[in-house]
C-alpha cells in the first residue's frame, strides 16, 4: 500500500519509490503538512514544530489562554480563509452576507484503488493499476462548505497529484473568489526558484533566482497558459545542479489563466500555492453544487534537476498523454506555411508534396488559408468550408492526389476564433466575447468565440467533425492565435461573469474531448501561436504541441532546453525550416537544423523544391536517421549536458536508453571560435562495466559532406570501443568544428 493512516496518531503517509509525504490531523482537526521529500521512516514529526508564541501570529480560539498554536505558523495542507493565517491562502470564500471565512476540520477519509477523475477537467490517468487515491474530507461548520483533498499516488513514478473539490452543503449560496488546487509548505531550507518565462517566439526561457522575502508570482491573465510564463516551477536547493541537490516540481494540468505564488514567511517556511488565476475570478456555488479545481502534479528528486525532469517526462508520456499516438513515432511531415503562406492552390500544394514524397516525407499538412474567404488573416475564421477557388473541387481531389503519393494528409484549423468578416460572425455576432458598449481589442484582427456557451461548442464539434467524417484527414493542427480580452458572455447574468474565463476553458476541453474521442485515429497537434498553450492540460488531448513559432534552429536550442525541464521531447513539435530563417534571418546548415528538430516530433516547413541536390540528399538521410533513432529519442532518458546561457560556445544534450543499451549525443556549435578550447563531454546514463561501440559519428557543417559527414582522421572515429566508466568519467574530446553552426551526432551501442 502506498497510502497509510495511523488512526491513533492520526497521521497519513503517502509513499512512492523514493519519497515520503506526511500529514497529520491535529487536536483541533486541522490537517497539517509535516514532510515531503526523500523516503523516511514512520513516526510523528510534530517535534519539528514546537509550540511558539510569536508576536502578531494569533492563536486558535481553543488555545487563547495557553498560546503558541497559530494557523500563521503551522504548515498547512490547504489553508482556510480569514482565520489568522496571513501567508498565501488557498481559498477566498464569502457567504450570502458578504462575510469571508472558512476553517476546515477533518471529517473522514477513504483510500481507493486507481486514480480519481475531475469533472470537466483533464487530469492524469492510471494504467495497469499503477495509482491509488486518497480522499480527505474536511468541513467548515459555519458555512457548510465541504473540502475534499484529492491525492493520486503513483508510487513507481515518484509522482503525487493533487486537486481540491469544494461542495456547498449549506442552505445559502457561497461565492468563491479564489480556489487554489494545492498548497505545498516547505518549512526548512533555502531554495532557488526555477521558472520559464518568455514571449511569442521565445518561450520557456529558464530563469533561476533565490526565493526571497517578497511574494514571487508566475501567472497568466491571458486566457491561456501563455507564451510569457509556463504553469510549471521548480524549487531546488541553492547549490543544486543537474546531478545533485533536492528538487521539487510543481506542474499544473491547466491551460487557462493560472497563478502560482511562492512566499517565504517570517519563520523561513516556503509556501507554494497553485491554482486558477484569481483576477476576475468569482464562482457562485449554490447549495448542492460542487466545484473541482484543476490538478497539480508534484514530484521530488533528491539528486538534482535531471532525475526530476526524467520523472516528469515518463509521467507525461505514460499518464497524461492518451490515445493510440502517444506511444508511436509520429509521421515525418511537410507543412506548407513558410513555403507559401496564404498564396497557394491545389497545384502548388501537390508540387510541394511530390518533392517531399520523393525524399521520404510521410505527411502533407495544409496550413492556414484553405477555407472560407481566407486569403489573409483578416477574414474567414469561423467558416469551416473549403475555398473552392483555391482548391477546385474541394479537399477530396487534393487529398486523393496526396494519398496517391503514399502520403497522409493533415489540416490546420483555428476553431476557437472568429473574424468579423465571416459568415459565422454575421450570423451570430453574440457568439464572440465582447464587452457591452465598447469596441473590442483586436488580436490578429480576430475575436474569441464564447466557448462557455454549449451551443458554440456544439457548432464547432459538428463543423470540425463534419470535416473529419467526410474527408480522409489524418492529422489536425489546432491553433489559437490571440490572448483573451473583452471577456463578457451574453448568456450569463452579472453575478456569473467572473466564471466565464474558467467556463471558456471547460468548453475548450469539452470540444477537444469530443473530437479526440470521436476520431481517435487522427493525430492532433496543439498550437497557440506556437508555444502559447504548451502545458499538461492540452497534452491530455494532443500528444504533441508546436513548441514555438520561432523555427530558427539556434534559437530553438534555448527554447527546447527550457521546455525539457518539464516536458518530454516527443511532445515538442519541431521542424526543419527555410533559410535564411523567416523569423531571424539567420542561415544555418540544413543538417544542423535537422539535428535540432530531431529532438522533437520532426518535420519540414519549407519549399523542398528550392533545395540544392546536395541538400535533397541530406533530407533523405535525415529522415532515415530519424526513423532509425526515434525509439531512443522518444522514450530514452534525456540529459542536458550544457546550459545555453552559460556555455556560449556549444550546446549539447543526450539520450540514453533506460536499460543503458544505447545512447545518442547531440551537439551544435553556436559560437565558432578561433583557437577554441577543446570540446570535452562526459556521457550520462550508461553502465559503468559495459563496453560501448561508437557505431555512428556524423559531423555536419559547411566543410562536411551532406551524406552524413566525412570521417575525421584524428581523434575518435566509428568503430572505436570504450568502457562505460571511461565515457561516464573521462569522457570524449571532439575535434575542432569549423564553419557556420556545425553539429555532431554520436551514437553508441552496448556490446556483449
* Catalytic residue IDs: 535, 615
Q: DSSP character for 320?
A: I
Residues 6+ apart with CB under 8 A from 288: 167, 168, 169
For the stretch 371-378, contacts whose Cβ atoms lie closer than 8 Å and that sit 24 or more positions apart, written own/partner, are 372/422, 372/423, 373/421, 373/422, 374/342, 375/342, 376/342, 377/342, 377/444, 377/445, 377/446, 378/419, 378/421, 378/445
The 3-state DSSP class for residue 137 equals: strand
Max distance between CA atoms of the chain, in angstroms, equals 87
Closest CA to 633 of 604, 601, 603: 601
Q: DSSP character for 442?
A: -
CA of 166: how far to CAs of 32, 87, 92, 133, 147, in Å?
19, 21, 12, 17, 5
What is the C-alpha separation between 321 and 299, in angstroms, rounded? Answer: 18
Tell which phi-psi region holds residue 302, choosing left (phi > 0), alpha (psi between -120 and 50) or beta: alpha
Helix (H), strand (E) counts: the chain: 12, 39
Give first-to-last CA distance, the chain, whole Å. Answer: 39
What is the C-alpha separation between 357 and 75, in angstroms, rounded? Answer: 60
What is the C-alpha separation between 29 and 80, in angstroms, rounded? Answer: 13
- The Cβ of residue 440 has, within 10 Å, a number of other Cβ atoms equal to 15
The edge-to-edge listing of strands for the beta sheet with 3-6 is 3-6, 11-15, 19-25, 31-38
Let me know how long the chain is. 752
Closest CA to 215 of 172, 175, 271, 275: 271
Q: Indicate the Cα dihedral angle 654, 658, 663, 668, nearest 10°.
A: -10
| Residue 193 bridge partners (DSSP) | 209, 235
What is the C-alpha separation between 543 and 686, in angstroms, rounded? Answer: 28
- The continuous run of DSSP H or E covering 455 comes out as helix 454-470
Amino acid at each position: 500500500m502506498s497510502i497509510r493512516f495511523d488512526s491513533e496518531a492520526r497521521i497519513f503517509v503517502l509513499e512512492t519509490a523514493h519519497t515520503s509525504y506526511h500529514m497529520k490531523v491535529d487536536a483541533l482537526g486541522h490537517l497539517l503538512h509535516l514532510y515531503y521529500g526523500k523516503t523516511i521512516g514512520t513516526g510523528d514529526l510534530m517535534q519539528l514544530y514546537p509550540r511558539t508564541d510569536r508576536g502578531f501570529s494569533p492563536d486558535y480560539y481553543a488555545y487563547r489562554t495557553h498560546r503558541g498554536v497559530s494557523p500563521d505558523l503551522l504548515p498547512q495542507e490547504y489553508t482556510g480563509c480569514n482565520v489568522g493565517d496571513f501567508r498565501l491562502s488557498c481559498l477566498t470564500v464569502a457567504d450570502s452576507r458578504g462575510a469571508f471565512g472558512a476553517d476546515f476540520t477533518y471529517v473522514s477519509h477513504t483510500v481507493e484503488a486507481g486514480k480519481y477523475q475531475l469533472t470537466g477537467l483533464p487530469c492524469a490517468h492510471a494504467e495497469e493499476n499503477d495509482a491509488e487515491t486518497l480522499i480527505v474530507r474536511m468541513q467548515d461548520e459555519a458555512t457548510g462548505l465541504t473540502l475534499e483533498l484529492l491525492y493520486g499516488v503513483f508510487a513507481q513514478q515518484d509522482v503525487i497529484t493533487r486537486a481540491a473539490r469544494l461542495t456547498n452543503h449549506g442552505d445559502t449560496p457561497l461565492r468563491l473568489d479564489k480556489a487554489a488546487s494545492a498548497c505545498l509548505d516547505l518549512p526548512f531550507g533555502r531554495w532557488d526558484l526555477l521558472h520559464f518565462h518568455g514571449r511569442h517566439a521565445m518561450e520557456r526561457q529558464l530563469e533561476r533566482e533565490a526565493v526571497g522575502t517578497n511574494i514571487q508570482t508566475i501567472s497568466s491573465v491571458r486566457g491561456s497558459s501563455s507564451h510569457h510564463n509556463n504553469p510549471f516551477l521548480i524549487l531546488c536547493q541553492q547549490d543544486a545542479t543537474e546531478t545533485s541537490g533536492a528538487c521539487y516540481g510543481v506542474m499544473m494540468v491547466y491551460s487557462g489563466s493560472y497563478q502560482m505564488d511562492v512566499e517565504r514567511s517570517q519563520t523561513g517556511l516556503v509556501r507554494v500555492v497553485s491554482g486558477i488565476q484569481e483576477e476576475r475570478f468569482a464562482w457562485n456555488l449554490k447549495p448542492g453544487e460542487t466545484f473541482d479545481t484543476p490538478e497539480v502534479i508534484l514530484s521530488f528528486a533528491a539528486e538534482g534537476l535531471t532525475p526530476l525532469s526524467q520523472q516528469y517526462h515518463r509521467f507525461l508520456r505514460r499518464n497524461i498523454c492518451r490515445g493510440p499516438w502517444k506511444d508511436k513515432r509520429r509521421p515525418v511531415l511537410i507543412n506548407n506555411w513558410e513555403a507559401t503562406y496564404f498564396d497557394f492552390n491545389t497545384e502548388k500544394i501537390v508540387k510541394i508534396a511530390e518533392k517531399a514524397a520523393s525524399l521520404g516525407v510521410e505527411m502533407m499538412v495544409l496550413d492556414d488559408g484553405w477555407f472560407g474567404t481566407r486569403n489573409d488573416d483578416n477574414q474567414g475564421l469561423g467558416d469551416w468550408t473549403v475555398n473552392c477557388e483555391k482548391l477546385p473541387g474541394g479537399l477530396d481531389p487534393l487529398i486523393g492526389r496526396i494519398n496517391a503519393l503514399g502520403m497522409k494528409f493533415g489540416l490546420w484549423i483555428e476553431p476557437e476564433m472568429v473574424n468579423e468578416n465571416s459568415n459565422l460572425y454575421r450570423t451570430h455576432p453574440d457568439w464572440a466575447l465582447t464587452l457591452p458598449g465598447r469596441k473590442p481589442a483586436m488580436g490578429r484582427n480576430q475575436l474569441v468565440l464564447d466557448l462557455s456557451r454549449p451551443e458554440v461548442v456544439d457548432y464547432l464539434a459538428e463543423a470540425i467533425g463534419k470535416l473529419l467524417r467526410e474527408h480522409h484527414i489524418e492529422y489536425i493542427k489546432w491553433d489559437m492565435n490571440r490572448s483573451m480580452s473583452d471577456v463578457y458572455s451574453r448568456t450569463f447574468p452579472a453575478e456569473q461573469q467572473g466564471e466565464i474565463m474558467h467556463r471558456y476553458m471547460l468548453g475548450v476541453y469539452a470540444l477537444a474531448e469530443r473530437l479526440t474521442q470521436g476520431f481517435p485515429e487522427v493525430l492532433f497537434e496543439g498550437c497557440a501561436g506556437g508555444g502559447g498553450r504548451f502545458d499538461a492540460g492540452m497534452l491530455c488531448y494532443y500528444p504533441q504541441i508546436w513548441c514555438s513559432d520561432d523555427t530558427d534552429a539556434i534559437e530553438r536550442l534555448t527554447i527546447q532546453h527550457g521546455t525539457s525541464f518539464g516536458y518530454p521531447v516527443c511532445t515538442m513539435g519541431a521542424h526543419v525550416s527555410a533559410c535564411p530563417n523567416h523569423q531571424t534571418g539567420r542561415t544555418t546548415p540544413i543538417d544542423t537544423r535537422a539535428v535540432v528538430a530531431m529532438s522533437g516530433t520532426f518535420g519540414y516547413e519549407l519549399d523542398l523544391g528550392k533545395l540544392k541536390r546536395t541538400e535533397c540528399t541530406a533530407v533523405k538521410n535525415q529522415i532515415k536517421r530519424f526513423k532509425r533513432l526515434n525509439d531512443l529519442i522518444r522514450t530514452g532518458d534525456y540529459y542536458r549536458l550544457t546550459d545555453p546561457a552559460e556555455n556560449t560556445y556549444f550546446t549539447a544534450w543526450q539520450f540514453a536508453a533506460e536499460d543503458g543499451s544505447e545512447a545518442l549525443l547531440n551537439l551544435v556549435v553556436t559560437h565558432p571560435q578561433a583557437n577554441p578550447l577543446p570540446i570535452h563531454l562526459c556521457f550520462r546514463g550508461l553502465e559503468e562495466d559495459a563496453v560501448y561501440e561508437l557505431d555512428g559519428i556524423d559531423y555536419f557543417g559547411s566543410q562536411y559532406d551532406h551524406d552524413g559527414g566525412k570521417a575525421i582522421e584524428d581523434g575518435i572515429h566509428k568503430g572505436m570501443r570504450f568502457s562505460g566508466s571511461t565515457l561516464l568519467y573521462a569522457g570524449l574530446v571532439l575535434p575542432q568544428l569549423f564553419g557556420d553552426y556545425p553539429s555532431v551526432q554520436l551514437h553508441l551501442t552496448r556490446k556483449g
